[in-house]
């Protein structure tokens, strides 16, 4: 699970920008993630990765590495993945799990890499406006890498996504704000709100105690960073461990406030789900009912990227320092972005009219319109095939109560070739399994089980008073319905 963070120490470095030499200090421990390669000395190429040069003016002095599966189809998606401090492109490639899903779902990967020439600890300079604003420094270099990769691989420019860990996560938030016209979606791992800091001292404040801005104030920071008149925004996933002492969990709350406000939706989740690894998923739907913002809170996880080694459909990655064995974040992020909707190899079109016709505590029933030439249909739950049927309806069984599942379907022809995959639908089983949660008031609010107002804490849903908003006042909350908690300190049972 979580590991203790190394002590902070300060070092100096120099950087030449636009012909002006300036000094700045960075913290060796600030968002530091020990990789396994010596910072600033990466190999020219790494197993599975290809270094690409000549991708633009590269004002941020970054290196570009890519990975693409064999026989990558035209108009496939593209994912940009940003490493953390002291890490490298090859380190992130080896541990994050993204190559597994690039192979499985068919998309290309870009791994930008910084070095000690830019930052003493090989961090992306997310806290420097000269490197994180549109058209400047590292941000522009990453934008140029996208253009190069789209040209190299024939990628769909409308399905470009970006993700990152820690300093890479903070830079991801800034890239989403600066380039909403480039990125269809993003995933911020153990990161910070866009434009939270404009210097090193402010970066520390954001990491340990982010400003308690209103959702509108956070949203305005994004809107002011984006091109004037922007009305279409990326869909954003937020990953955070509840035991993170390097980037405090309150950052996930502020990120949620920022991006839900940008989307013009409220801060109360449309629904919640329990995932593996002690992960709680809170989903915030847009006006059409499609997820716009998702928050993944991993109970007990420290600072790092959530991975889950193994060969299962929902498993990925390998453990290492700050690669933590909890849940496969890359799998769930890929699903959120819709990268698992493989168009298939057959000629049959995607089924239309996929509908949830009914649910019980343990089943979900589906139906769809017939496809001419179909011999059967495959049904997928969360991207994994759960059944095959000759009819245009299917009932999935053995499901958990009060849980939301995502389904797609595809037609199969007489030769066994699978056609296009349908649009997804969500089915939520009935019933609810109560759960008990004992923690300090601060942790309850970070996890969404409570909220604070005027320095006091109140249970989400019931509004019961819980005392001062701090980490020392502890209560047991019993969840009796989605987003509804009651104080139950007398021996909660569930």
4 occurs within a structural domain: no
Q: What is the CATH number of the domain that holds 257?
A: 3.40.50.1820
Domain-located, residue 494: no
Whether 372 maps to a domain, the answer reads yes
Cα–Cα distance measured from residue 166 to residue 172, given in angstroms and rounded to the nearest whole number: 9
- C-alpha distances out from residue 195 to 24, 175, 214, 219, 246, Å: 19, 10, 14, 10, 18
405 and 476 housed in the same domain: no
Q: Which residue range(s) make up the domain with 423?
A: 355-428
1 inside domain: no
Residue 459, CA distances (Å) to 11, 27, 165, 212, 348 in order: 44, 38, 31, 19, 51
Q: Strand 235-241 vs strand 291-298: parallel, antiparallel, or unpaired? A: parallel
Q: Are residues 111 and 232 in the same domain?
A: yes
Which strands, in side-by-side order, build the sheet including 108-113? Answer: 50-52, 63-67, 108-113, 78-82, 160-165, 185-189, 235-241, 291-298, 279-285, 271-275
pLDDT at site 346: 62
pTM of the complete model: 0.67
Q: From the CA atom positions of the chain, what is the Rg in Å?
A: 23
Predicted local confidence at residue 382, as pLDDT? 66
CA distances from 492 to 343, 434, 459 (A): 48, 10, 15
Q: What is the Cα–Cα distance from 329 to 324, expressed in whole angstroms?
A: 10
In a shared domain, residues 418 and 472: no
Is 88 annotated in the active site? no
Are residues 54 and 149 located together in one domain of the fold?
Answer: yes
Q: Which of 411, 428, 445 is the last residue before a domain boundary? A: 428
CATH code, domain carrying 360: 2.60.40.10
221 and 283 both lie in a single domain: yes
Q: Which of 399, 428, 457 lies at the terminal end of a domain, its last residue?
A: 428
In a domain? residue 242: yes
pLDDT, residue 465, reads: 94
Q: Could you say which of 88, 90, 141, 166 is catalytic?
A: 166
Same domain, 107 and 178: yes
Residues 184 and 202 in one domain: yes
Question: What does the alpha-carbon distance between residue 220 and residue 372 come to, in Å, rounded to a whole number?
Answer: 50
Q: Is residue 343 part of a domain?
A: no
Same domain for 478 and 406, yes or no, is no
304 and 269 in one domain? yes
User: What's the pLDDT score for residue 136?
Assistant: 96
| pLDDT at residue 29 in the model | 38
| 268, 379: one domain | no
| 326 and 386 assigned to the same domain | no
Per the structure, the count of domains in the chain is 3
Q: Of 305, 337, 369, which one is at a domain's C-terminal end?
A: 337
Per-residue pLDDT of the chain (494 residues; tens, 9 = 90+): 333 332 222 233 323 333 222 323 333 333 433 332 222 223 333 448 999 999 999 999 999 999 998 888 888 999 999 999 989 999 999 999 999 999 989 999 999 999 999 999 899 999 999 999 999 999 999 999 999 999 999 999 999 999 999 999 999 999 999 999 999 999 999 999 999 999 999 999 999 999 999 999 999 999 999 999 999 999 999 999 999 999 999 999 999 999 999 999 999 999 999 999 999 999 999 988 889 999 999 999 999 999 999 988 899 999 988 899 999 999 999 999 999 865 445 678 889 999 999 999 899 999 999 999 999 999 988 666 889 999 999 999 988 887 777 788 999 999 888 888 887 788 888 888 788 999 999 999 988 899 998 899 999 989 999 999 998 999 999 998 878 899 999 888 76
């Amino acid at each position: 699970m979580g590991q203790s963070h190394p002590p902070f120490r300060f070092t100096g470095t120099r950087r030449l920008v636009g012909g002006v030499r300036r000094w700045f200090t960075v913290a060796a421990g600030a968002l530091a993630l020990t990789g396994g390669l010596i910072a600033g000395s990466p190999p020219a190429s790494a197993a599975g990765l290809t270094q690409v040069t000549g991708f633009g003016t590269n004002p941020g002095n970054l290196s570009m590495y890519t990975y693409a599966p064999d026989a990558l189809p035209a108009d496939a998606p593209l994912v940009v993945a940003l490493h953390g401090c002291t890490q490298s492109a090859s380190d992130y490639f080896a541990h994050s799990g993204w190559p597994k899903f690039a192979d499985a779902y068919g998309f290309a990967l870009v791994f930008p890499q910084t070095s000690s020439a830019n930052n003493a600890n090989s961090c992306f300079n997310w806290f420097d406006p000269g490197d994180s604003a549109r058209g400047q420094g590292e941000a522009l270099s990453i934008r140029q890498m996208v253009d190069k990769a789209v040209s190299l691989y024939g990628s769909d420019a409308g399905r470009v996504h970006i993700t990152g860990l820690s300093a890479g996560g903070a830079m991801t938030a800034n890239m989403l704000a600066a380039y909403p016209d480039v990125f269809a979606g993003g995933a911020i791992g153990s990161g910070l709100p866009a434009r939270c800091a404009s210097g090193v001292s402010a970066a520390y404040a954001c990491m340990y105690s982010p400003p308690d801005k209103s959702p509108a104030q956070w949203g305005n920071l994004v809107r002011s960073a984006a091109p004037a008149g922007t009305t279409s925004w990326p869909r954003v996933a937020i990953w955070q461990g509840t035991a993170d002492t390097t980037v405090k969990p309150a950052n996930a709350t502020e990120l949620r406030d920022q991006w839900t406000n940008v989307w013009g939706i409220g801060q109360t989740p449309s629904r919640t789900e329990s995932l593996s690894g002690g992960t709680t998923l809170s989903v915030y739907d847009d006006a059409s009912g499609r997820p716009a913002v998702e928050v993944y809170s991993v109970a007990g996880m420290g600072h790092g990227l959530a991975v889950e080694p193994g060969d299962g459909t929902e498993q990925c990655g390998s453990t290492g320092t700050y690669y933590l064995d909890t849940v496969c974040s890359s799998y769930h992020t890929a699903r959120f972005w819709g990268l698992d909707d493989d168009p298939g190899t057959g000629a049959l079109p995607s089924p239309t009219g996929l509908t949830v016709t009914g649910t019980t505590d343990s089943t979900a029933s589906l139906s769809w319109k017939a496809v001419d030439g179909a011999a059967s249909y495959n049904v997928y739950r969360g991207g994994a095939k759960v059944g095959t049927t000759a009819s245009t309806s299917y009932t999935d069984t053995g499901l958990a109560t009060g849980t939301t599942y995502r389904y797609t379907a595809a037609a199969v022809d007489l030769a066994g070739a699978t056609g296009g995959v349908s649009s997804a639908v969500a089915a939520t089983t009935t019933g609810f399994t109560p759960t008990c949660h004992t923690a300090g008031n601060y942790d309850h609010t970070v996890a969404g089980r409570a909220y604070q107002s005027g320095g006091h804490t109140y249970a989400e849903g019931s509004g019961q008073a819980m005392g001062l908003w701090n980490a020392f006042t502890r209560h047991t909350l019993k969840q009796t319905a989605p987003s509804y908690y009651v104080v139950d300190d007398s021996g909660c049972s569930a």
